[in-house]
């Protein structure tokens, strides 16, 4: 981000990274205006839109596949984010977009369950989500990485 660019509400909504962490964003310049998009969120939105479009074009998955995908697809994003936050390694934007895309497909499937009224699968999805949140919480307690992350 250049000094002449003033951070705006749009900047914080789209990048939600501090200026020193803008290497974690995708930089687009349109008519002299700089736009910074969070790399992982770009992947998430692309994945969610993709699954909704696939559903509109007739994608229909068996019940067991919903459960399997809801359990597996968030894992790469969680591993990437956690290892980066624990300062084990620094991720790359291509990895952030890719893992975000997989996470977005998972989120899209989750919201698709809600839209289709498949409440029993939605509850299973919520339990899987809670397991992921609990795992991140336990890792955060053991490593104290959230203190560094928010500072």
Q: How many Å apart are CA 151 and CA 143, to the nearest integer?
A: 15
10-41 pLDDT tens trace: 666 777 777 777 888 888 888 888 788 889 99
Percent with pLDDT over 90 in the chain: 48
Rg of the Cα atoms in the chain: 17
Judge if 31 and 44 occupy the same domain.
no
The gap from C-alpha 109 to its chain's centroid, in whole angstroms, comes to 14
66-80 pLDDT tens trace: 999 999 999 999 999
Q: Taken in order 25, 27, 30, 34, is the CA torsion positive or negative?
A: positive
What total number of domains does the chain contain? Answer: 2
pTM: 0.83
Judge if 28 and 95 occupy the same domain.
no
Q: How far is CA 7 from CA 27, 28, 54, 84, 129, in A?
A: 14, 15, 36, 25, 33
Q: Which domain holds residue 54?
A: 40-150
Mean pLDDT computed over 36-57:
94
* Residue 98 confidence (pLDDT) above 90: yes
Judge if 53 and 68 occupy the same domain.
yes
Judge if 13 and 69 occupy the same domain.
no
């Amino acid at each position: 981000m250049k000094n002449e660019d003033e951070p705006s509400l749009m900047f914080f909504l789209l990048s939600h990274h501090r200026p020193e962490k803008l290497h974690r964003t995708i930089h687009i310049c349109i008519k002299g205006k700089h736009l910074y998009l969070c790399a992982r969120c770009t992947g998430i939105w692309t994945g969610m839109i993709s699954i909704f479009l696939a559903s509109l074009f007739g994608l229909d998955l068996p019940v067991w596949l919903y459960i399997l995908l809801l359990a597996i697809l968030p894992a790469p994003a969680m591993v990437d984010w956690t290892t980066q936050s624990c300062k084990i390694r620094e991720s790359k934007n291509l990895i952030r977009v890719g893992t975000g895309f997989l996470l977005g497909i998972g989120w899209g499937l989750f919201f698709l369950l809600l839209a289709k009224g498949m409440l029993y699968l939605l509850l299973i999805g919520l339990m899987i989500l809670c397991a992921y949140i609990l795992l991140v919480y336990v890792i955060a307690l053991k490593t104290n990485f959230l203190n560094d992350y928010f500072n």
